[in-house]
Structure 1
Amino acid sequence: MYIIYIGNFLSIVVGDKIGLDTWFVHMTKEEDPKEEKPPRFTVEVLDKLTALMITGFGLVAALAWNDAIKLLFKEVFGMHEALWAMFAYAIFVTILIVLITIYLSRLLRIAKEKEK
């Protein structure tokens, strides 16, 4: 009999044969999950998976804002296909992204300094 630990939150007892093959599951012979630390590989995979999911959600939000800003330019400047309006939009978005990136970089640097 095996106990399968998924993180520190869930344990599943199964029979002698296990057909589960995944990186996110750590299998042991009937051990106490509180005494065992998760393998470093599992933590790294979950860390990277979380970062990728957050990036994906950020992309979805960015696309939503892209549509909203395009609609705003269409309302303000009329035809959104006008060449000058598209360049104005591109310049506006570029400046906004640069400012946000600078701000977030400063926040990260301050947080790292406080951590030390």
Structure 2
Amino acid sequence: MASLKVQVIEMTAALMTAAFGLLAALAWNGAISWAVKQFLGQEEGLGLFVYAILVTILAVVMTLLIARMAAKAKAADAKLTEKMK
């Protein structure tokens, strides 16, 4: 059974991932829409696809980083638990 510390880290990672997904969708909305409009001269069609791709890439990268941190914490906890046996 995972320690309380690992459980807290895993839950925090899940909540942070969800929060970052929402943050990416909301906070970057205006900035990315503006940038796409500047480069493509439109906010519809191709511009919306470019916007969606950029936000998705950002969310995936951050999710992977958060998951990697959680995995490292879990591995460190497993090593500590093994040493205590």
Does residue 109 in structure 1 map to residue 71 in structure 2? yes
Larger helix fraction of residues: 2
**Secondary structure of the residue that 1:80 maps to in structure 2?**
coil
CA distance in 2, matches of 1:66, 1:113: 36
TM-score, length basis structure 2: 0.55
Q: Which runs of 5+ in 1 are unaligned?
A: 1-50
CA distance in 1, matches of 2:71, 2:21: 21
Runs of 4+ in 1 over 6 A off after TM superposition: none
CA distance in 1, matches of 2:35, 2:50: 12
CA distance in 1, matches of 2:21, 2:61: 17
Query: Deviation at 1:93?
Result: 1.8
**Secondary structure of the residue that 2:43 maps to in structure 1?**
coil
Query: Deviation at 1:58?
Result: 7.0
Task: State the identity as a percent.
Answer: 43
TM-score, length basis structure 1: 0.43
The answer on whether the counterparts of 2:36 and 2:50 sit within 8 Å (CA) in structure 1 is: no
